[in-house]
Chains A and B, each alone.
Chain A
């Protein structure tokens, strides 16, 4: 086996092992601490000593990982595949059809199919978001100010719908790409025909107008932004930002 491959496998495994060991250490400290806390509510789940003890078995693997990383960086070992350009059917399609003067009926049909698949995919994704929105806007699911006890239920209602939505989008993308591949073939045929007939493509003339619109939008939004900042300074929301930023919100950073 190639030396680079062996290195990459070892390094990849080391990274996974270090992270798994760190996560396991945290979970073990938590579980042991929880049992201790049940007996004595004033006891601490995590202490510096417990963390130090839990890190002892992780350290050798971590140090090994660091050494292997340094060696890899010095020897400039990289995943050769990572530097290769990605295969992008959509891009290839765009590039190919940019050379077509007038699309053939086959190309138009494929394009229409892609449009339908695209809209269909997004409509399905939007539909999947509806149960999530219904769930999160129903106050009965959040009976008091504490999100913690209902958090798992929240995730259980969000995650499946999100996964289904993304899955449908993925299927729609795959089908669109199949259609794009067919469109590329049709476009290539069309290019051949047009070349034979001596037809030339037209230049895009809409770029100037787009730039003008972007400039106008930018200036308008900049004015709105400045107005909002000034309004916020006077209505006290600037002080809100300051008040929150100068105190450590223990919950926000995961302390508890």
Chain B
């Protein structure tokens, strides 16, 4: 008894959803300037988590990824409970559940677009239905267990899902940054991790071409979390039981592995509204109808719709209309009008967001106003007291041999501007005093996994060449855990410092939003190496030999 709508698909609704998805993707990535500059957004909007799956290292991202933030919170649970992220996830879950997956998630849009490529498609079956439980295994192992274990046992934040699986991180973050010519230096850190994640991304992408929303259905832990709230979330598709004749067209025509409309697999995309001849399905926020089929939405119309059982009873478009049909038309018209107003407001919001995140946000203006050399110049003149201008230009006329008079800057062949930093142990690190020694400067943060993992290598090198080497590990000015407390039980002997509020050292060495970063100076104070990314003991040994002239 399949009552699939004989009237046909309403082309407006799916395209409305696509427009909303596109709108949401733009809003999630409103920092368009980042794609041009190759830098990520660093403004205060990143205190908030985005509802959808969107990597926060994407140059366009203006908010934090909820899943990345959750893993980080779990990894930091030894220091403090991550109430904030859990509260936000709960809030999103209760208000929208998996409606977020169907309407707002940028990765969902990408998957649906990939599925538009005309190929053979794998349909849902008992195999796909069982595979949906894989999401929960991934959630438990990679999102919960690995970050919790490494956070509690080793005090190292290991984002298991981001590191080993997440295709959004590879596509939006890694490839988004690497494709920008300004980030050529990032190629230096690519290795096995990138090769593995790139291959995983390709496999997931290929699966999405052949199988509708494969990532969403079989892998996505965020969907697994939101799915827990699906049955009682505020916004979602609802079935009017008084109209439903249990034909099952909704479930049979759904691309997801749903058993019932609104169950934990349902993404509330409302496509089922198109195939329901009874017009029993609508998208609602509580009791407010957000979207319904023309002719639905009124109990008064029930009699008319239900009276002659079967298809073809809905004749709202006929010349002679009953009062119920007229009422329906009126309700549909008012919803349409409301929709237009909502779109108008939404477009205004988008325009405001684009202007704010690309031009007006203080963080963006700071980037634009100072640039690399400007920032550095400002930081250095106070320290050096000479007003020396720090240049970020590739060293034209640079004395690469490190003779006196080399240009002040941060690129290889240049001399770093002098600075003094107060270390955590109370001592002072004065760059000018290190002449004659090989100098290693490391930029790190407690919340950066590769940073924490490579610090023991620095410590080993420092101890091995004690007296011939000067080393300073500088924590980012953004502090989430007390670095002194963090280092207390590590037993590392390197001098540690925290950068000043105005990022003085970051400016001098051209530190960026990418961590970790290593800068090596030879005995004459000339930069021989300034790279983002983690280093191995072999690389450190080679750098030492090169800097020491051995």
Asked if residues B130 and A173 are in contact (CB atoms below 8 Å), the reply is yes
Which of A4-12, A101-109, A182-190 binds B? A4-12
Q: Give every chain A residue within 8 A of B231 (Cβ-Cβ).
A: 214
Distance to closest chain B CB from A143 (angstroms): 9
Q: Which residues of B contact A145 (CB under 8 A)?
A: 150, 154-156, 158, 452-453
The verdict on A237 contacting B187 (CB below 8 Å), with A73-B118, A222-B91 known, is no
Which DSSP category, helix, strand, loop or mixed, fits chain A's interface?
helix
Q: Which of B163-171, B380-388, B398-406, B427-435 contacts A (4 or more CB under 8 A)?
A: B163-171
A15 touches B514 (CB 8 A): no
B123 touches A19 (CB 8 A): no
Pairwise interchain contact A255-B447, C-beta atoms closer than 8 A: no
Least CB distance, B89 to chain A, in whole angstroms: 8
Q: Which of the segments A37-45, A112-120, A192-200 contacts the partner chain? A: A37-45
* Cα of A218 to Cα of B287 in the assembled complex, Å: 14
CA distance A217 to B232 in the complex (A): 7
A residues near B232, Cβ cutoff 8 Å: 213-215, 217-218
> Whole-angstrom distance from the CB of A236 to the nearest CB of chain B?
6
Q: Does A88 contact B (CB under 8 A)?
A: yes
Q: With an 8 A cutoff between CB atoms, is A35 at the interface? A: no
Asked if A243 contacts B445 (CB within 8 A), the reply is yes
Judge whether B81 and A237 touch: CB under 8 Å.
Answer: yes
The answer to whether A241 touches B149, judged by C-beta atoms less than 8 angstroms apart, is no
Given contacts A90-B259, A241-B85, contact A174 B126 (CB under 8 A): yes
Chain A residues with CB under 8 A of B61? 245
Given known A229-B83, A249-B159, contact A240–B153 (CB-CB < 8 A): no
Interface size on B, residues (CB 8 A): 139
Within 8 A of A (CB), among B504-536: 512-516, 529, 532-534, 536
For residue B254, which residue of chain A has the nearest CB?
A: A86
Q: Kindly list chain A residues whose C-beta atoms are within 8 Å of the C-beta of B472.
A: none
Complex interface bits, A170-185 against B, C-beta within 8 A gives 1, otherwise 0: 1001100100000000
Nearest CB of chain B from residue A46's CB, rounded to whole Å: 4
Residues of A within 8 A of B46 (CB): 241-242, 245-246
B358 within 8 A of A: no
The answer to whether B68 and A244 have CB atoms under 8 Å apart is yes
Question: What size tier do the contact residues of chain A reach?
Answer: 35 or more
- Residues of B within 8 Å of A229, CB to CB, are 83-84, 87-88, 91
Q: Write out the residue numbers on chain A whose beta carbons fall within 8 Å of the beta carbon of B178.
A: 255
B170 and A254 contacting across the interface, CB-CB below 8 Å = yes
B11 to chain A, nearest CB (A): 13
Q: Verify if A77 is at the interface (C-beta below 8 Å from B).
A: yes
Please indicate the chain B residues that have their CB under 8 angstroms from the CB of A241 in the complex: 46-47, 49, 64, 69, 72-73, 84-85
Q: Contact check, B84 vs A173: say whether CB atoms are below 8 A apart.
A: no
> Quick check: is A36 within 8 A (CB to CB) of the other chain?
no
Q: Is the CB of A252 within 8 A of B64?
A: no
> At the interface with chain A, which of B202-210, B313-321, B336-344?
B202-210
A83 CA / B172 CA spacing, docked (Å): 31
Q: How far is the CB of A128 from chain B (nearest CB, A)?
A: 10
- Cβ of A137 < 8 Å from any Cβ of B? yes
* B119 and A162 contact, CB distance less than 8 A: no
B189–A255 CB distance below 8 A = yes
Given contacts A235-B83, A247-B515, contact A15 B119 (CB under 8 A): yes
Give the distance to chain B from A155, nearest Cβ to Cβ, in Å.
Answer: 9
A186 to B252, CA, bound (A): 22
CB contacts (< 8 Å) of A8 on chain B: these are 118-120
What separation, in Å, do the CA atoms of A118 and B191 have in the docked complex?
A: 45
- Chain A residues close to B by CB (< 8 Å): 7-9, 11-12, 15-16, 19, 22-23, 26-27, 29-30, 33, 40-42, 44-48, 51, 69, 72-73, 77-79, 81-82, 84-88, 90-92, 94-95, 98, 125, 129, 132-133, 136-137, 139, 142, 144-148, 151, 158, 162, 165-166, 169-170, 173-174, 177, 204, 207, 213-215, 217-218, 221-222, 224-233, 235-256
Apart from A148-B193, A225-B90, A252-B173, list 15 A-B contacts with CB within 8 A. Answer: A19-B203, A40-B542, A47-B187, A88-B248, A91-B252, A147-B160, A158-B137, A240-B76, A246-B41, A248-B57, A248-B513, A250-B514, A251-B448, A254-B169, A256-B193
